[in-house]
Amino acid sequence: MPHIKPKATPIFQTSVFTFDDLNELELYFEQPGQRYMYSRYANPNSDELANEVNKLEGGVGAIVTSSGMSAILTAILAICKAGDHVLCAEEIYGGSAALLTQELSRIGIEVTYVPSEATYSFDELVKPNTRLFLAETMSNPLLMVFDIKRLATETHKHNIKLVIDNTFATPIVTKPLGLGADIVIHSVTKYLSGHSDVTAGVVICMAEEDLQRVQKVMLTYGLNLSPFESWLAARGLKTLRLRMKQHCTNAQTIAEFLQGHPKVEQVWYPGLHKHPQHQLAKEQGSGLYGGMLSFRIKDDKEAVNRFMQGLKHIPFAPSLAGVSTSISYPLGTSHRALTPEQQQKIGITAGVIRLSVGIEEDEELLTDLVRGLAKI
């Protein structure tokens, strides 16, 4: 057979790898990372994806997982055990809140939600068994921007690990590890893969001991990513930088348009000067503000329905960060599990709509939004 040097990595669609003899098996255990045995442990495609994401985030290593939720679970279980305590930002993805409140509490991990006003002054909430603080670079769905450097200073003062969900920002906008975070997680399903055809997650660590724990949890709990989805995600990652620039440009244009529309009561986008953390976002994001925004029309579900029905090209799809623009309804999807009191406290009301801005021509998007708003 001729020597083959493919430019694109082949798909290693296999569950197991073979050995010539017992000597080669022993080398597998003596030289970790030099050979493959079983795809739940490691696979060339998942390794490629992990390595490429790690280069972007600047960690000591990364582990890919089967979904964004499994990445959050892996990061928490790598640090916490039964009897430990977690601090979590009040403004957080609803799935993260559900995991902590409904599931991890059942195995003895306690959670306290840190009110937004106490984000950098949470001393009174720290307990002797507090191990971890979970927050997002930009909160889902109301785009509160966290000062990661300041948050890292406060968490490390108490010897607490800072875990940042960087899904909304991506490393093109913000690199939390360089600002002091200990662990970064992504739903690879979103921007890193970028084409709405993969479900995956990744955990990137700043310390080797954390990375080893993350790998152990992934392997033992069977949270690995399949070879084909690893390959698809690695392919999508190649265009991340180009895609993010267009996402950001389009989002800025649309946010400014919505801000001036008479039927829009409020817009949440860090690129707007009125955004309370605009200056922080500008500094932390090198002038890029991401492709996600939310806006509020009047708090009436029927008005939201009429808006959605008036759109011809922007679908209602309860996810985000694909190349095509989509809208979501946090009250009925991502933050459905929160109590009405929690929803109200963080500002998720009946008229809030989340917009994931794609990379289409912005004129097309503006035309469709005008069409939808005219139906209200």
For residues 374 and 97, give the distance between their C-alpha atoms in angstroms, rounded to a whole number: 35
Of 40, 216, 263, 371, which is the active-site residue? 40
Tokens (6 digits) for 271: 């690129």
Q: Where are the alpha helices (DSSP H) in 260-350?
A: 278-284, 301-310, 340-345
Q: Are 172 and 244 in contact (CB under 8 A)?
A: yes
Note if 301 is an active site residue. no
Tokens (6 digits) for 367: 């035309």
Note if 165 is an active site residue. yes
Of 165, 182, 210, 362, which is the active-site residue? 165
Which letter does DSSP use for residue 107 in this model? G
Closest to 54 in 3D by CA, of 200, 206, 191: 206
For residues 255 and 350, give the distance between their C-alpha atoms in angstroms, rounded to a whole number: 20
Note if 93 is an active site residue. yes
Residues paired with residue 33 on neighbouring β-strands, in sequence order: none
Which residues lie below 8 Å from residue 304, measured CB to CB, with a gap of 6+?
Answer: 297, 329, 350, 351, 353
Q: Are 290 and 240 in contact (CB under 8 A)?
A: no
Q: Where are the alpha helices (DSSP H) in the chain?
A: 22-30, 44-57, 68-79, 94-98, 148-157, 170-173, 208-221, 227-237, 240-259, 278-284, 301-310, 340-345, 362-373
Note if 21 is an active site residue. no
Of 161, 190, 243, 296, which is the active-site residue? 190
Of 47, 93, 113, 289, which is the active-site residue? 93
Active-site residue list: 40, 93, 165, 190
